[in-house]
A and B are shown apart, each in its own frame.
Chain A
């Protein structure tokens, strides 16, 4: 089992890296105003520049609404008696396929979130893709192993504390470029460290969306017993 998962992980990392090296998504509409971004933001992706910089308050309240939705779902679902579980896939072939697919989807989601300021993608789509990968992994390995992670890592706490990071960023976003993290500098368009807070925000918001999707799946897959 351990050998299989190691093999799956390494192979899917290799696949994602090769795909991302050869198939760069051409940003069609994403860069109509390079001058503006070059002066003030430094993201190659104008959409990312807008929702992580120029109109960041929209994103802040979007994230807040998402947080409140997740909290509501888990508060309601905590009352439901937990008794349901998803069994692992029976056939080893299907299990292997699902593991493989799930790993590739998760890594692709991480990649999409991290490279959001350079090409189409970003925190919300990356987080959603990663959550779908976790759902596929749950189907492969059964719910017990995967769902232990929710309790062990205290995911709800991490998910809520990311909100504090984002609020702190909003308060101190006006720091001079390159204050304590290379991601804060405007940088050169196309560099990995560019686009001011894009790297930090994409990774944190992406993680938040990922955990939120996972929590929703976890809460809804508990069975409701009629007593």
Chain B
């Protein structure tokens, strides 16, 4: 009876090891191997009818069913706000590697920030990307963990200042600020650098706030997406992959 005990131990070991495998196809094939062993055990214990049923269900029905169902990939809809080439590429690479590891199809909708937030609230997209900073969560949106450190630059008065979303409005805002129409505004480093290089602005920030990170925005209704994305980010941070991706795009 050593054969049966070995087989039963192997079944237990296989079923425990399924917990630690991330590739779905491997899990299905492991399941098929498990039911093959179960078939052998059933027929040794002289239950050929149970063995037949296990062979047909475990080896054919379940395996084909899972394969057919998992063929259809889920989709991740992302509203994308263009800011500057380097951070755009960084964000797209992060999102596509997230989709690759979770077997999703990446769908990108380009828009500006106001429309993107509206689409997020209406459920048209699941994630907004576009150099957003994780300063505060608004009522409906939740920010993921950050992937790149940055700082916020304040112009004018701090209390009444307003965050600039689209970077094209930087020149407008700076003109309005010079004329005295608005009392102050603040902007993140990437948008400031991009606009400053383009427009040769002579505005000097009065105050810098550090310890701010770029991140993505998700809707409050889907805590599962937020949780899995944060887990993915912390995973690649541990592996050092995040640092490599960031260094490739941002100097």
Contacts and interface: CB of A to CB of B under 8 A. Distances in A.
A24 to B, nearest CB: 11
B56 A105 contact: yes
Interface size class of B (residues with CB under 8 A): 10 to 19
B75 A226 contact: yes
B49 A135 contact: no
Given A213-B61, A217-B61, 18 more contacts: A25-B48, A29-B46, A47-B49, A120-B52, A125-B50, A129-B52, A131-B56, A131-B61, A132-B57, A132-B60, A135-B61, A135-B65, A136-B60, A136-B64, A220-B65, A220-B68, A221-B65, A226-B74
11 contacts: A120-B49, A124-B53, A128-B53, A132-B56, A135-B65, A138-B64, A139-B64, A217-B64, A217-B65, A223-B72, A224-B72
B120 to A, nearest CB: 15
Contacts of A213: 61
Interface size class of A (residues with CB under 8 A): 20 to 34
A135 B57 contact: no
A136 B56 CA distance: 11
A28 interface: yes
Nearest to B52: A125
Contacts of B77: 226
A203 interface: no
A105 B55 CA distance: 11
A158 interface: no
A176 to B, nearest CB: 31
Residue among B47, B56, B60 facing the most chain A CB atoms (10 A cut-off): B56
A122 interface: yes
